């Protein structure tokens, strides 16, 4: 069981505990609990224990103890356990979906996609663990010019205990990817679950343990938002924590990055985006319109990969915009925001744009319910409007006209972010020429910006983070190359006579 009973919990609701070294950590007192609230129902669905810095340290201690054994396991053994975990995740898919829907208010279709894609990521990472290889570099001559002899080998070793901080959006795919990469590399993990969906994240960890991952290799805690900063610092400063994997907003990533810099701990970060879809004059306009509209509204626009800007070549602007508005108008609802405050933020960004001269092709700052905004297309954006380069995290996109390819590229690159982009053209050569000039980690040709592939590396550039995830690229993030040099007995002959 992931949830536990606690007689002193408000409303007698079940509790998401702290999970350390394979068991639920004792609940100190009712004051350590916080409610997990459904945004749609606006009522608590369960409670969770908010970890203290001292208890968080115990999770790191447990991971450090488990690391001494786990690091020695063969990649083939870790691969086998990850494949078993994927089977368990698939079998318990309905349970995981229900938790994600209840906690994040996402549509059932999106929750189902998270399970299907998340399992694919785990299996791909398991397969890629066979690619963990060392090398034997050539030996250089000694300073006297003589062959030094001996042998040098370069081996890959796990970096150590990893702190994983996953988000509430993509609440299944993203933590599964992060956990699997670290485990495949031979690392142990402390997961700091999102305070908005702790049950979802705990359920994922329980699937790994059901598959046979030893106790202590995976530990999961959570903290109410106001407790998070000291908890993160306690973990990052812990001597056993050797790397951090954070997925979330640029604002929070900046703060965590500063803590990591303070303690000289490396961090893999995948942050926000302001994804542009560049529509070139030779695009398939009808197909592109549908892809742009859908890319803007998936999960109420609450994806860092969302299509936030649609940049249209002047030559086809008058033909394309009616198709785009028609495609967006056919979408009655984009689902619900994860919290009411999130919906308010997305609404306020649209109000700000309107106050600064923006016009709406579809929708506007309009609520369908307290947690759902009307799908919206905005145009005539002023440079000082928040929507120009602030993530809306709502079901909206801005539409811009580009004079030519160079102008479209300049508009697309005019952002602090650099995560995902799309280029639409019926000429692959034309699309490649534009894509190669975009300052984004991923560029998708003739598809939504909100696209990813388990077998390809993914990274942010500029303000969207650093480091790579997925497959062998992600596993390498959590391993280090160590050189071991075997010197011959005559290795110091050049010093003779000195």
Active site positions, annotated: 270, 304
Any idea which residue has 């020429």 for tokens?
A: 433
SS3 55: helix
Measured distance between the N- and C-terminal CA atoms of the chain, rounded to whole angstroms: 71
Distance from the Cα of residue 277 to its chain's centroid: 21
For residue 222, what are the β-bridge partners? 193
Half-sphere exposure of 252 (CA within 13 A, CB side): 17
Cα–Cα distance for residue pair 54/238, rounded to 1 Å: 11
The answer to whether 67 and 246 are in contact (CB under 8 A) is no
The answer to whether 339 and 103 are in contact (CB under 8 A) is no
Distance from the Cα of residue 336 to its chain's centroid: 20
Cα–Cα distance for residue pair 430/308, rounded to 1 Å: 23
Backbone angles phi, psi at 328, to 5 degrees: -70, -35
Any idea which residue has 């907003």 for tokens?
A: 249
Backbone angles phi, psi at 442, to 5 degrees: -135, 135
For residue 243, what are the β-bridge partners? 162
Cα–Cα distance for residue pair 106/299, rounded to 1 Å: 6
State which H helix or E strand residue 188 sits in: strand 188-193
Closest by CA to 395, choosing from 360, 426, 425, is 360
DSSP code string of 78-103? HHHHHHHHHHHHHHTHHHHHHHHHHH
DSSP, res 443 = E
The answer to whether 189 and 161 are in contact (CB under 8 A) is yes
């Amino acid at each position: 069981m992931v949830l536990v009973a606690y007689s002193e919990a408000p409303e007698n609701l079940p509790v998401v505990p702290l999970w350390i070294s394979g068991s639920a950590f004792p609940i100190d007192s009712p004051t350590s609990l916080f409610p997990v609230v459904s945004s749609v129902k606006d009522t608590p669905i369960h409670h969770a224990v908010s970890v203290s810095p001292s208890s968080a340290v115990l999770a790191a201690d447990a991971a450090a103890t488990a690391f001494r054994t786990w690091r020695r396991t063969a990649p083939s053994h870790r691969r086998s356990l990850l494949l078993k975990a994927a089977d368990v995740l698939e079998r318990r898919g309905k349970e995981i979906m229900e938790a994600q829907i209840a906690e994040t208010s996402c549509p059932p279709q999106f929750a189902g996609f998270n399970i299907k894609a998340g399992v694919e990521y785990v299996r791909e990472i398991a397969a890629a663990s066979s690619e963990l290889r060392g090398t034997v570099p050539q030996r250089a001559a000694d300073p006297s010019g003589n062959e030094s002899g001996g042998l040098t080998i370069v081996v890959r070793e796990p970096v150590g205990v990893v702190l994983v901080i996953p988000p509430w959006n993509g609440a299944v795919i993203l933590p599964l990817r992060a956990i699997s990469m670290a485990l495949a590399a031979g690392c142990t993990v402390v997961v700091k679950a999102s305070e908005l969906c702790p049950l979802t994240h705990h359920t994922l960890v329980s699937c790994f343990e059901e598959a046979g991952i030893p106790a202590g290799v995976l530990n999961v805690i959570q903290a109410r938002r106001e407790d998070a900063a000291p908890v993160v610092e306690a973990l990052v400063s812990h001597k056993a924590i050797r790397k951090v994997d954070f997925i979330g907003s640029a604002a929070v990533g900046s703060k965590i990055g500063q803590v990591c810099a303070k303690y000289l701990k490396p961090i893999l970060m995948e942050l926000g985006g302001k994804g542009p879809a560049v529509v070139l004059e030779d695009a398939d306009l009808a197909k592109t319109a549908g892809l742009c509209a859908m890319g803007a509204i998936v999960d109420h626009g609450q994806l860092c990969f969302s299509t936030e800007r649609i940049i249209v070549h002047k030559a086809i602007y008058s033909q394309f915009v009616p198709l785009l508005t028609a495609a967006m108008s056919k979408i009655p609802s984009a689902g619900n925001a994860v919290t009411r405050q999130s919906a308010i933020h997305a609404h306020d960004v649209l109000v700000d744009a309107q106050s600064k001269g923006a016009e709406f092709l579809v929708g506007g700052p309009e609520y369908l319910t307290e947690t759902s905004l009307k799908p919206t297309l905005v145009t005539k954006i002023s440079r000082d409007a928040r929507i120009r380069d602030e993530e809306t995290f709502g079901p909206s996109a801005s539409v811009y006209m580009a004079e030519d390819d160079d102008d479209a590229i300049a508009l697309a690159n005019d952002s602090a972010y650099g995560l995902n982009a799309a280029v639409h053209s019926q000429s692959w050569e034309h699309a490649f020429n534009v894509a190669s000039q975009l300052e984004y980690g991923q560029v998708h040709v003739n598809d939504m910006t909100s696209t990813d592939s388990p077998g390809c590396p993914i990274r942010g550039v500029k303000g969207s983070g650093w480091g790579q995830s997925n497959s062998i690229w992600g596993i390498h993030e959590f391993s280090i190359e160590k050189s071991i040099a075997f010197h011959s007995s005559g290795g110091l002959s050049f010093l003779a006579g000195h």
